[in-house]
């Protein structure tokens, strides 16, 4: 035996793993022994159509018997994997045991006094009929005339045909039950009974074990010739015995796919449910040829509910197999089958002296782990029957042997074999009664139905999967508490951990979330506090992770400690509050694991001893242990390091204080509160007035200022009586321009308008008209202390007053010390006072604003109020009050003194204007801008400006301030439009237009005031700011146009045209005024009434009268 592995594979195909392991050792041993004993008789016959690694021929010769042998041939499936190879394994094993028994155990056959052995030559046919025929013809050509049959009726039929046509040959078929094999073939004999009688034993047993009303059947078959013979014979006999066969025979494809089998089982289930049997259940009779088909149909019938509708299930080629119970487990219970042979058969073989029991033991000893089936017994009996006939006839002649077999033609004349008592019909086909088998318990082998072992009918079926079959009573009973029935093991098994069974017969249920169980428990236990079981069916509870707790028992999940709480150490049952650690603190996220996670939340900051305090408006508080950072335009001071108390001040302008992590961070070159002081490291050219002013620059600036003052004096001194020159008309425009722009600046400051960057020029232009030294000289440091800045606010008016008086003093001195030829005359004191008054009227709004700034407070996000113009000075602080004297001086001189002098002039003007030329010259800045009827209008304008700067002191709300200003300017502009107080028409028009524009600007600023917690709609704000810019531009354009007009009207050509048109009208006025005309002739141009008349005229008319 040269290929032990291939032979082993061929012999074990389809065996269980246990059977394979059990067979390995004897298979190898057998291969080695056979190789040593008969190596010369083993050969591989080459064939182009087959794999040469497959076994082609096996010859079994006597090992111990020395003498002659009789040669017997066979064509069988020696390969592993062809169509009939699986079924042929049992037949080959039976032949092997039979040859071994005859040759080795019995010592051969005694023929004519000589021991003769049997030499069996088996040729592989690969389940091909053509190969089978060629094998037999080859053996015949080599002198073989006695043959044993292959597995299967198809292959046997081929051998029988060749034998039948060849004289002197004989075939003993061990594995064919088809009647056609033996029909008209006298030298062909069988061991198996006819296929048509295969199910008759089961039919007879069912007839005996059932009542008449229980005899209903449905039939199925596999599409195979053998199955057809079997089912046809069963149907005929059932009809003879009074069984009711329902429906047609259901035909399954040969070796059908699983899906096809399940579909057929489903259809049969539907059909069975339609049969009305009055309480009875039908019997399923199934002729299945393929073992796998039988197994799958049993599984499908269980799962689809067909089994519950049946009283019995009878299969062929299935139940009698040794692995049937192992392959199906509990599903095999009470399934019935048929077999022409049973391992418990007590018939003693006439040749071997063995019973079926003895044969079974021998078979299991040789093939460890395997149990013989009827095919092995049939093959063994074929060898012993052939040996018996040769020994009985003392001949090897085929004809003599045929004659001997034909003597066995009645039940009285039988040959007892391991397979049973044989006798033949006229065709040479064995007549052996088949029995019915039923698996009546857990054992691997079925029970033969006989008087001592009756049929269990109907077969028990436990409808509930929680019930098991009690095999001792063949009834259903529930499993005990804490257990469930496992069909695969066919027993009650303890519930696995995580499941429980609280009632008998109940399937183990998964423990719900929040509970757990150990193996075999009848109930689930809730998870203790601090643990959880998230999934159903938990075997144990899981402790909550740090930061999570389970408040009560039976929790399916651990809840994260909410913000502001945490878990202590190993405690998982409750959360501790952060308030115990730090007042107002919280945790960054739920699920904090320790008290170190308790920090101040966002928008708060930690103050030692006080906990977490709310973030001050303007600070950015990231939370945790970080100090706040400041926004743009703010300055912070930590006034108490122990408690981290913070004062937060607004910076004006805001760019002095950039956004920074350092609360006291300032722009480069600045320091101190609100970044208003210059640092010691200030750079030259600094834009915040912290640089040093070069001496030449200061001299130049001073020279320009003094030159402007002297130029003003010279223009005013050259003015003639009775003529209002260009000076006063331009003065009107300048006064209107400066007043409007100063008031515009006040409005912008009051309303805190946030203009877009592109419109910053409006604020910048308005600051120009405030004559602010910090703005005009941005790089000059005149001292950044509060004292220096207060004193600097007094410099402008001081320069004006002392400058003009200085000029006067110098002129007086020069007139006395210089030669008379130089003709230097002293300055006119009245003109000097008038010039001072003109400049002070222009600067009045600045002085008023600076004076009121001493009282105007700025509210800060945190900390005390500071002065709006001095945001580094705390209101009513010692530093603030130390400059009270300067405030009193400025208030007394620039506001109260100037206002009182205005009132005094207006009181005495009616009596002095016409008689005192010096009075008019000295107070022209008060009287000469207005028409004589409205000479007091200067006081109204002055009062308007005073009210403008007082409004912020009275009304603290920006929107209230702006609203009050709007009312003030609406009132003033309407009054001014009604009375037209200016001496010239162009000044009236300019003032009306400028006042109206300021009203519009003020109203628009109401809409642009930022509201707290209001969302900024930048698009709308841009539109309003654009309108405001347009109004400001129109104001400036009006002033420019007025100046151009005043200059244009003084051009010679234009002036001549105006004189020609107006001269006649004025002459008529003079002639009509007879009293005035008389005085002109008598007293000349110096008459007081004439002077008053001339001064009451417009600029152009007065000029014409003088001409």
SS3 of residue 697 by DSSP: helix
pLDDT over 90, % of the chain: 22
List residues bridging with 862 in a β-sheet.
Answer: 648
The confidence score (pLDDT) of residue 951 equals 81
- d(CA 1059, CA 1064) in angstroms, rounded, equals 9
The tokens of 242 are what? 């009074």
**Which DSSP string do the residues of 879-913 spell out, in sequence order?**
HHHTTHHHHHHHIIIIIIIHHHHHHHHHHHHHHHT
Q: Is 206 exposed, middle or buried (0-12, 13-18, 19+ CB in 10 A)?
A: buried
Contact of 13 with 86, CB cutoff 8 Å: yes
Contact of 431 with 437, CB cutoff 8 Å: no
Using one digit for the tens of pLDDT, what is the confidence trace for 322-366? 788 888 877 888 899 887 787 878 889 999 899 989 999 999 999
- Supply φ then ψ for residue 1040, to 5 degrees: -60, -45
Using one digit for the tens of pLDDT, what is the confidence trace for 402-433? 999 999 888 778 899 998 888 888 888 888 77
Contact of 559 with 568, CB cutoff 8 Å: no
**Which DSSP string do the residues of 777-811 spell out, in sequence order?**
STT--S--SHHHHHHHTTHHHHHHHHHHHHHHHHH
| pLDDT greater than 70 at residue 50 | no
Radius of gyration, CA atoms only, the chain: 66
- d(CA 448, CA 494) in angstroms, rounded, equals 34
Q: 513 or 846, which is more confident?
A: 513
974-992 exposure pattern, b = at least 16 Cβ within 10 A, e = fewer: eebeeebbbbbebbbbbbb
Report the pLDDT averaged over residues 154-179: 93
Using one digit for the tens of pLDDT, what is the confidence trace for 442-501? 666 677 777 667 888 888 877 655 677 777 777 778 888 888 877 666 678 889 999 998
The confidence score (pLDDT) of residue 1043 equals 55
- Measured from the Cβ of residue 531, the count of other Cβ atoms closer than 10 Å reads 21
How far is the first Cα of the chain from the last one, in angstroms, to the nearest whole number? 159
Contacts of 685 (CB under 8 A, 6+ apart): 691, 779
Report the chain's mean pLDDT, rounded to a whole number: 79
Using one digit for the tens of pLDDT, what is the confidence trace for 584-630? 888 888 888 888 888 888 888 888 878 888 888 888 888 777 788 88
Reference 430, options 363, 380, 385; nearest CA is 385
Contact of 145 with 167, CB cutoff 8 Å: no
**Quick one: which H or E segment has residue 333?**
none
The confidence score (pLDDT) of residue 327 equals 87
The confidence score (pLDDT) of residue 723 equals 45
| pLDDT greater than 50 at residue 910 | yes
| pLDDT greater than 70 at residue 731 | no
- d(CA 199, CA 287) in angstroms, rounded, equals 8
- d(CA 264, CA 220) in angstroms, rounded, equals 10
């Amino acid at each position: 035996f040269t290929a032990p592995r291939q032979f082993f594979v061929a012999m074990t195909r389809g065996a269980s793993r246990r059977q394979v392991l059990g067979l390995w050792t004897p298979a190898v041993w057998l291969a080695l022994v056979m190789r040593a004993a008969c190596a010369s008789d083993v050969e591989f016959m080459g064939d182009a159509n087959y794999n040469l690694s497959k076994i082609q021929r096996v010859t079994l010769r006597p090992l111990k018997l020395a003498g002659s042998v009789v040669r017997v041939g066979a064509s069988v499936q020696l390969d592993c994997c062809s169509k009939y190879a699986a079924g042929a394994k049992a037949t080959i094993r039976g032949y092997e045991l039979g040859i071994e028994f005859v040759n080795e155990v019995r010592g051969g056959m005694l023929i004519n006094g000589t021991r003769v052995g049997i030499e069996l030559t088996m040729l592989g046919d690969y389940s091909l009929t053509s190969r089978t025929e060629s094998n037999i013809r080859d053996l015949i050509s080599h002198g073989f005339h006695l043959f044993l049959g292959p597995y299967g009726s198809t292959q046997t039929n081929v051998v029988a045909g060749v034998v039948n046509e060849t004289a002197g040959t004989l075939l003993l078929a061990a594995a064919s039950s088809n009647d056609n094999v033996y029909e008209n073939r006298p030298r062909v004999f069988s061991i198996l009974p006819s296929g048509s009688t295969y199910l008759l034993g089961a039919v007879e047993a069912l007839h005996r074990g059932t009542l008449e009303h229980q005899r209903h059947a449905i039939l199925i078959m596999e599409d195979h010739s053998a199955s057809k013979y079997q089912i046809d014979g069963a149907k005929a006999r059932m009809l003879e015995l009074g069984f009711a066969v329902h429906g047609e025979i259901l035909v399954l494809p040969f070796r059908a796919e699983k899906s096809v089998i399940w579909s057929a089982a489903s259809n049969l289930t539907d059909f069975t449910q339609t049969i009305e049997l009055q309480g009875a259940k039908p019997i399923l009779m199934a002729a299945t040829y393929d073992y796998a088909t039988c197994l799958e149909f049993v599984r499908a019938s269980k799962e689809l509910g067909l089994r519950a509708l049946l009283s019995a299930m009878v299969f062929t080629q299935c139940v009698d197999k040794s692995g049937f119970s192992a392959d199906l487990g509990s599903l095999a219970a009470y399934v019935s089958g048929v077999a022409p042979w049973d391992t418990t058969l007590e018939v003693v073989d006439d040749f071997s002296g063995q019973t079926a029991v003895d044969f079974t033991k021998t078979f299991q000893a040789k093939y460890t782990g395997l149990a013989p089936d009827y095919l092995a017994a049939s093959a063994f009996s074929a060898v012993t029957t052939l040996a018996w006939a040769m020994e009985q006839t003392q001949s090897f002649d085929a004809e003599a042997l045929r004659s001997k077999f034909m003597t066995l033609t009645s039940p009285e004349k039988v040959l007892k074999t391991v397979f049973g008592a044989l006798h033949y019909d006229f065709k040479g086909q064995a007549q052996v009664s088949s029995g019915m088998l039923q698996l009546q318990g857990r054992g691997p082998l079925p029970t033969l139905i006989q008087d001592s072992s009756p049929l269990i009918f109907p077969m028990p079926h436990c409808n509930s999967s929680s019930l098991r079959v009690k095999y001792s009573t063949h009834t259903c009973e529930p499993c005990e508490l804490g257990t469930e029935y496992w069909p695969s093991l066919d027993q009650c098994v303890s519930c696995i951990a995580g499941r429980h069974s609280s009632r008998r017969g109940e399937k183990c249920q998964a423990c719900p979330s929040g509970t757990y169980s150990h193996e075999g428990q009848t109930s689930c236990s809730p998870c203790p506090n601090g643990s959880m079981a998230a999934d159903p069916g938990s075997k144990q509870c899981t402790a909550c992770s740090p930061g999570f707790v389970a408040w009560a028992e039976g929790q399916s999940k651990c809840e994260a400690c909410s913000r502001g709480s945490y878990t202590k150490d190993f405690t998982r049952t409750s959360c501790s509050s952060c308030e115990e650690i730090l007042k107002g603190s919280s945790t960054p996220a739920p699920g904090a694991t320790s008290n170190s996670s308790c920090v101040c939340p966002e928008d708060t900051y930690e103050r030692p001893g006080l906990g977490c305090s709310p973030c001050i408006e303007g600070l950015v508080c990231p939370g945790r242990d970080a100090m706040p950072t400041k926004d743009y335009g703010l300055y912070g001071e930590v006034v108490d390091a122990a408690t981290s108390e913070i004062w937060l001040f607004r910076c004006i302008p805001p760019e002095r204080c950039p956004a920074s992590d350092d609360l006291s961070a300032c722009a480069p070159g600045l320091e101190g509160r609100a970044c208003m002081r210059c640092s010691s490291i200030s750079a030259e050219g600094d834009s915040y007035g912290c640089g040093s002013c070069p001496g030449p620059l200061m001299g130049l600036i001073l020279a320009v200022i003094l030159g402007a003052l002297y130029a003003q004096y010279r223009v005013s001194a050259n003015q003639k009586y009775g003529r209002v020159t260009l000076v006063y008309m331009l003065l009107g425009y300048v006064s209107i321009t400066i007043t409007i722009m100063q008031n515009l600046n006040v409005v912008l400051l009051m309303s805190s308008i946030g203009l877009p960057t592109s419109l910053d020029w409006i604020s910048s232009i308005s600051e120009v008209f405030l004559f602010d030294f910090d703005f005009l000289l941005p790089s000059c440091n005149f001292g950044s202390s509060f004292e220096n800045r207060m004193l600097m606010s007094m410099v402008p008016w001081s320069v004006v007053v002392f400058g003009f008086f200085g000029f006067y003093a110098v002129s007086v001195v020069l007139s006395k010390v210089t030669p008379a030829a130089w003709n230097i005359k002293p300055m006119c004191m009245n003109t000097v006072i008038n010039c001072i008054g003109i400049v002070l009227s222009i600067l009045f709004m600045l002085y008023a604003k600076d004076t009121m700034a001493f009282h105007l407070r700025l509210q800060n996000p945190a900390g005390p109020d500071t002065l709006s113009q001095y945001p580094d000075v705390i209101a009513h602080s010692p530093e603030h009050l130390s400059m009270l004297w300067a405030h009193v001086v400025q208030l007394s001189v620039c506001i109260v003194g100037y206002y009182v002098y205005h009132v005094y002039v207006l009181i005495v003007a009616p009596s002095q204007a016409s008689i005192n030329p010096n009075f008019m010259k000295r107070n022209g800045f008060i009287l000469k801008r207005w028409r004589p009827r409205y000479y007091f209008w200067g006081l109204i304008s002055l009062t308007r400006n005073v009210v403008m700067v007082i409004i912020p002191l009275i009304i603290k709300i920006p929107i209230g301030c702006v609203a009050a200003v709007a009312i003030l300017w609406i009132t003033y502009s309407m009054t001014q439009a009604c009375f037209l107080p200016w001496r010239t028409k162009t000044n009236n028009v300019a003032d009306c237009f400028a006042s109206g524009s300021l009203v519009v600007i003020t109203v628009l600023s109401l809409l642009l005031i930022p509201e707290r917690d209001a969302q900024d709609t930048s698009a709308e704000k841009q539109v309003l700011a654009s309108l405001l810019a347009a109004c400001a531009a129109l104001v400036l354009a009006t002033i420019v146009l007025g100046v151009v007009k005043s200059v244009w009207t003084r051009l010679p050509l234009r002036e001549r045209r105006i004189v020609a048109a107006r001269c006649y009208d004025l002459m008529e006025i003079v002639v009509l005024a007879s009293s005035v005309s008389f005085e002109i002739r008598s007293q000349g141009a110096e008459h007081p009434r004439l002077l008053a008349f001339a001064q009451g005229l417009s600029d152009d008319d007065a000029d014409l009268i003088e001409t």
